[in-house]
Amino acid sequence: MCNYAESNPQCSTNLSASGAVLENDVIAMTCSITYSGSWAPVMNWMDLGTGQYFTDDNITMTTTETMVTSQLTITASADFHDSQIQCNTFFAQPAPFPPTSATNVPSYSYTWTSTTLDIHCEFVLGDIAFSPFSSSDSNNSACFRLCVHVLVYILSIILFLLHIFVV
């Protein structure tokens, strides 16, 4: 029996075309491929910013006799700013080896790459939401830094007002 992909995967995401998303929003990316044969294609997801593969904790995989669907679900954070996410689809020899007359792994691979992620910080104060800039530091949360600056500003106003009314 021949093992082959009937077409390249169909991939989609809930991101806008610009890749803009607010920090802490959920990002979902899905790829599906139709195949024939005893061996199902394999899909894995990689953060091109770090070169790290995502773990099964972030991936939902569904395999039927003719289709494989893989969905990556992550929470937007400053760590993903300016990154792209990649879904790699290929055939690998399954373990345990299934009962089939095929002994070679099909030489098929396909790579889908997301748009560049543009993570925006959002700071909420009461009913007012601020999204003044994009995250740019991959080690520290831009939202945290913004919160600290806003809180320092608010505290300085409070101290100023206290000084005026107390004196």
Domain assignments of the chain as residue spans, ordered by start:
4-120, 123-166
> Coil, helix or strand for 155?
helix
- The answer, yes or no, to whether the previous bond of 96 is cis (omega within 30 of 0) is yes
* Lowest pLDDT segment from 65-69, 126-130, 135-139: 135-139
Instruction: Name the pLDDT band for 32 (thresholds 50, 70, 90).
Output: very high
Specify the pLDDT at position 145. Answer: 62
SS in 3 state form for 20-34?
Answer: EEECCCEEEEEEEEE
Residue with tokens 């080690």: 139
Pairing outcome for strands 128-130 and 42-47: unpaired
CATH of domain 4-120: 2.60.40.10
Alpha-carbon span 124 to 53, nearest angstrom: 32
Q: Which of 31-40, 90-99, 108-117 has the lowest mean pLDDT?
A: 90-99
Per-residue pLDDT reduced to its tens digit, 12-22 = 999 999 999 99
pLDDT band with cut points at 50, 70 and 90 for residue 37: confident
Phi, psi at 64, each rounded to 5°: -115, -175
Which pLDDT belongs to residue 160? Answer: 80
Grade residue 134 by pLDDT with cuts at 50, 70 and 90. very low
* Res. 137: pLDDT tops 60: no
User: What average pLDDT does the segment 35-50 reach?
Assistant: 92
What is the rounded distance in angstroms from the CA atom of residue 90 to the CA atom of residue 96? Answer: 18
